[in-house]
Chains A and B, each alone.
Chain A
């Protein structure tokens, strides 16, 4: 039974995710600029870009099918749904029984399939090139992500993200070597999935090396704005999954409003630290060749499997 307070909390959470996501992206870019001794565009820059894009006219290529037009909305809906499932502020989420951690991976896969189809829809070379690369990265990253989620599920005996977080937040402090491994694997996967530097360069202007950017080359206006917003939301959701699985301390356990108020500053602080860490990783590493990506993601998969094995050996 969905209570009114639960529904309000849930809707607030989705709204918060949509509002905070561009700021997180701006913060990561700002940190990266600082680390490279540049002044940076400010953390509100993604908002300005979005406003500019929303005001522009959307241009469609000749021969674009309805799929091409629908994809930005599907993408945005997928990411909103993902944001609804992941415990961001509290664990009392009326929508969370709708999908567990495995379904969450499925939602990301759905978004990926749609954007790849849309990229191939127009028939340009760069679009299909980007789509193929995206699928390659995706099919390697997905098993690693699933293994990471399974490790966390094994510790708390449930695949529901809300239950995992509740269990982890309330349990006493225990060193889990398996979670440390899973955390490294998850970081690697989220770098690959969000098209960040070791795998893809989000600021590149060289089409031949693009993965994510190559797929959205044909989009413009409000469609592009929605896609950019979805990418920011994806980064936000991934960061929140990472926080929820590995540093859930400070999250509101029940649906109490005081806990939710306290959870917000904790979340912002954790996101700020996480964003800085991501910028640091991106500054310290160089983009690798596309054929090194299987090795990178293979390592992530290895770490995730090791985490599971170590859980069985040392913690069961």
Chain B
């Protein structure tokens, strides 16, 4: 029942991706969070490259290059610049009860694995068993967004979710059409720029990036 080597490497990278998702879930420092996000992008690039090489799908090379440029170089750079300008580089977020969050994370992983099992049996790709991990990454990124109260970590959670979705697309169908991928890449980039503007606006209005202040924005 031994799998081919390429498939084993993809499985290993998928496992690393899942591990990085958990690390992001429990990371207190914003700076480390960005670095973890960049590492996740790197793992994603490598797995896309291995899939591209082992299946001979040429468009996956382009998408790997796109992932590398966007998620390992540009977005972390933009984020680093943002937190430097916002002066929150050394911010430490008080996360309540990390063990409990991790247990919720494990439940989510079990859920994702069970949900993905029937779907992945329908797929004929060599990466089909990693679909569960991709789904788990998406859900864990959701959880990261939910448990954070500051704006920048929430956006990183959002970007990590996009990583998970991209991985799901690669593992289920060998990636989306090129046009769609370019569209999403552009969306993420533009979204990042707009959110960056938002950060400054939020801070100017409330003197902090804690978005629980936004709940007070009601007309009396």
Q: Do A and B bind each other?
A: yes
Q: Distance in Å from the Cβ of B46 to the closest Cβ of chain A?
A: 14
Establish whether residues B102 and A298, one from each chain, have CB atoms under 8 Å apart when the complex forms. yes
- Output the nearest chain A residue to B105 by Cβ-Cβ distance: A302
Establish whether residues A313 and B113, one from each chain, have CB atoms under 8 Å apart when the complex forms. yes
0/1 string, B173-186, CB within 8 A of A gives 1: 00000000000000
Q: Which of A175, A180, A302 has the most chain B CB within a 10 Å cutoff?
A: A302
Q: Which of these, A177, A294, A302, A313, contacts B132 with CB under 8 Å? A: A313
Establish whether residues A298 and B98, one from each chain, have CB atoms under 8 Å apart when the complex forms. yes
| Count of A-B residue pairs with CB < 8 Å | 58
Interface residue A312 (Cβ < 8 Å from any Cβ of B): yes
- Output the nearest chain A residue to B12 by Cβ-Cβ distance: A177
- Output the nearest chain B residue to A172 by Cβ-Cβ distance: B2
B3: chain A residues at CB < 8 Å are: 174
Q: Which of these, A305, A306, A312, A313, contacts B19 with CB under 8 Å? A: A306
Q: Which of these, B9, B19, B105, B133, contacts A175 with CB under 8 Å? A: B9
Q: Which of these, B14, B15, B106, B110, contacts A302 with CB under 8 Å? A: B106
Whole-angstrom CA separation of A79 from B22 in the bound complex: 35
Q: Distance in Å from the Cβ of A39 to the closest Cβ of chain B?
A: 36
Q: Which of these, B11, B98, B106, contacts A306 with CB under 8 Å? A: B106
A313-B129, A315-B11 known; 8 new pairs, CB 8 Å cut-off, are A172-B2, A175-B8, A177-B12, A180-B12, A294-B99, A295-B98, A310-B133, A313-B132
Establish whether residues B15 and A310, one from each chain, have CB atoms under 8 Å apart when the complex forms. yes
Establish whether residues A177 and B15, one from each chain, have CB atoms under 8 Å apart when the complex forms. yes
Interface residue A2 (Cβ < 8 Å from any Cβ of B): no
Asked whether A312 and B102 contact (CB < 8 A) given A172-B2, A174-B2, A302-B22, the answer is no
Asked whether A310 and B102 contact (CB < 8 A) given A172-B2, A174-B8, A177-B11, the answer is no
0/1 string, A227-242, CB within 8 A of B gives 1: 0000000000000000
0/1 string, A175-191, CB within 8 A of B gives 1: 10110110000000000
Q: Distance in Å from the Cβ of A168 to the closest Cβ of chain B?
A: 14
Interface residue A299 (Cβ < 8 Å from any Cβ of B): yes
Whole-angstrom CA separation of A172 from B15 in the bound complex: 21
B26: chain A residues at CB < 8 Å are: 299
0/1 string, A137-169, CB within 8 A of B gives 1: 000000000000000000000000000000000
Whole-angstrom CA separation of A141 from B133 in the bound complex: 26
Establish whether residues B15 and A314, one from each chain, have CB atoms under 8 Å apart when the complex forms. yes
0/1 string, B15-28, CB within 8 A of A gives 1: 11011001000100
* Total B residues in contact with A, Cβ cutoff 8 Å: 26
Interface residue B109 (Cβ < 8 Å from any Cβ of A): yes
Whole-angstrom CA separation of A311 from B169 in the bound complex: 22
Establish whether residues B18 and A310, one from each chain, have CB atoms under 8 Å apart when the complex forms. yes
Interface residue A309 (Cβ < 8 Å from any Cβ of B): yes
Q: Distance in Å from the Cβ of B93 to the closest Cβ of chain A?
A: 15
Whole-angstrom CA separation of A32 from B23 in the bound complex: 28
Establish whether residues B15 and A299, one from each chain, have CB atoms under 8 Å apart when the complex forms. no
- Output the nearest chain A residue to B102 by Cβ-Cβ distance: A302
Q: Which of A172, A299, A310 has the most chain B CB within a 10 Å cutoff?
A: A310
Interface residue B130 (Cβ < 8 Å from any Cβ of A): yes
Whole-angstrom CA separation of A294 from B100 in the bound complex: 11
B22: chain A residues at CB < 8 Å are: 302, 306
Q: Which of these, B8, B12, B105, B133, contacts A313 with CB under 8 Å? A: B133
Asked whether A295 and B99 contact (CB < 8 A) given A180-B15, A181-B15, the answer is yes
0/1 string, A188-215, CB within 8 A of B gives 1: 0000000000000000000000000000
Interface residues of B in 89-139 (CB under 8 A from A): 98-99, 102, 105-106, 109-110, 113, 129-130, 132-133
Establish whether residues A181 and B19, one from each chain, have CB atoms under 8 Å apart when the complex forms. yes
B109: chain A residues at CB < 8 Å are: 306, 309
0/1 string, A275-308, CB within 8 A of B gives 1: 0000000000000000000110011001101100
A295: chain B residues at CB < 8 Å are: 98-99
Q: Distance in Å from the Cβ of A292 to the closest Cβ of chain B?
A: 10
The 8 closest A-B pairs by CB, nearest first: A177-B15, A298-B99, A175-B8, A314-B11, A177-B12, A302-B102, A313-B132, A313-B113
Q: Distance in Å from the Cβ of B113 to the closest Cβ of chain A?
A: 5
Q: Which of A177, A306, A315 has the most chain B CB within a 10 Å cutoff?
A: A177
Whole-angstrom CA separation of A195 from B8 in the bound complex: 36
A294: chain B residues at CB < 8 Å are: 99
B2: chain A residues at CB < 8 Å are: 172, 174
A302: chain B residues at CB < 8 Å are: 22, 102, 105-106
A181: chain B residues at CB < 8 Å are: 15, 19
- Output the nearest chain B residue to A302 by Cβ-Cβ distance: B102
Q: Distance in Å from the Cβ of B167 to the closest Cβ of chain A?
A: 14
Establish whether residues B12 and A309, one from each chain, have CB atoms under 8 Å apart when the complex forms. no
Q: Distance in Å from the Cβ of B144 to the closest Cβ of chain A?
A: 15
Whole-angstrom CA separation of A312 from B99 in the bound complex: 23
Establish whether residues B12 and A175, one from each chain, have CB atoms under 8 Å apart when the complex forms. yes
